[in-house]
Chains A and B, each alone.
Chain A
Amino acid sequence: AQSVTQPDIHITVSEGASLELRCNYSYGATPYLFWYVQSPGQGLQLLLKYFSGDTLVQGIKGFEAEFKRSQSSFNLRKPSVHWSDAAEYFCAVGRGGSNYQLIWGAGTKLIIKP
Chain B
Amino acid sequence: EAQVTQNPRYLITVTGKKLTVTCSQNMNHEYMSWYRQDPGLGLRQIYYSMNVEVTDKGDVPEGYKVSRKEKRNFPLILESPSPNQTSLYFCASSLGGLTDTQYFGPGTRLTVL
Contacts and interface: CB of A to CB of B under 8 A. Distances in A.
Interface stretch (A40-48, A63-71, A78-86): A40-48
Interface hub of A32, A45, A101, A103 (most chain B Cβ within 10 A): A101
A51 B42 contact: no
A44 B90 contact: yes
A106 B98 contact: no
Interface in B94-112: 96-99, 101-102, 104-107
B21 to A, nearest CB: 16
For the side of the interface on B, what is the size category? 20 to 34
Contacts of B35: 102, 104
For the side of the interface on A, what is the size category? 20 to 34
21 contacts: A4-B42, A6-B42, A32-B98, A43-B104, A43-B107, A44-B104, A46-B102, A51-B99, A92-B43, A98-B98, A99-B96, A99-B97, A100-B31, A100-B33, A100-B48, A100-B56, A101-B59, A102-B33, A102-B98, A105-B42, A107-B42
Interface of A: 4, 6, 9, 32, 34, 43-46, 49, 51, 90, 92, 94, 98-107
Interface of B: 31, 33, 35, 40-45, 48, 50, 56, 58-59, 90, 92, 96-99, 101-102, 104-107
Given A43-B105, A104-B44, A107-B42, 9 more contacts: A4-B42, A49-B99, A51-B99, A99-B96, A99-B97, A100-B31, A100-B97, A102-B33, A104-B42
